[in-house]
Amino acid sequence: MDVITIPFGEYIITTDKEQLSAASAHEWLSNESYWSKNIPLEVVKKAFDHSYVIGILHEGKQVGYARLVTDYATFAWLADVYVLETHRGKSLSKKMMSVLMEQDWVKKLRNIGLGTLDAQGLYEQFGFKNHEHPERIMFLLRRDIYGDINNQGR
């Protein structure tokens, strides 16, 4: 896959893992996310290493991130999407999603899934919708795997 790096106002959106940081993603995911509280750094590093990642940089600091878990041919799962609160309201998540979804290889994926509590409006802009056959979709959920007693079933 080609590395993409584009300017967006005072920000840089990039898929270059050399410019992005698993440690920065870990800081936000383990402390702020509702889905990965207390996730260990080594787990985030492994996920980072084995996923296609995209991020947003501001003055050299990572302020946004997302990753696709994918086989690069038929399927992907969009995960760990965030923009730091102090940088929200600037269309950064929309631009990051646009850059990701406009890649030729992503356009050829047959299935892209995700889970969200509160960002349906963002993802609907890119064609995501509730599955037409939810009775066919199953998950093995281990919500307390990182000792997160604050997750409350989300």
User: Which pLDDT tens digit goes with each residue over 1-14?
Assistant: 789 999 999 999 99
Query: Beta strand 52-58 with 11-14: parallel, antiparallel or unpaired?
Result: antiparallel
Between CA 85 and CA 32, with CA 16 as vertex, the angle to 5 degrees is 25
Segment 35-80, tens digit of pLDDT: 999 999 999 999 999 999 999 999 999 999 999 999 999 999 999 9
With the C-alpha atoms ordered 153, 137, 105, 121, is the resulting torsion angle positive or negative?
A: negative
**At the topology level of CATH, where does 5-136 sit?**
Aminopeptidase (3.40.630)
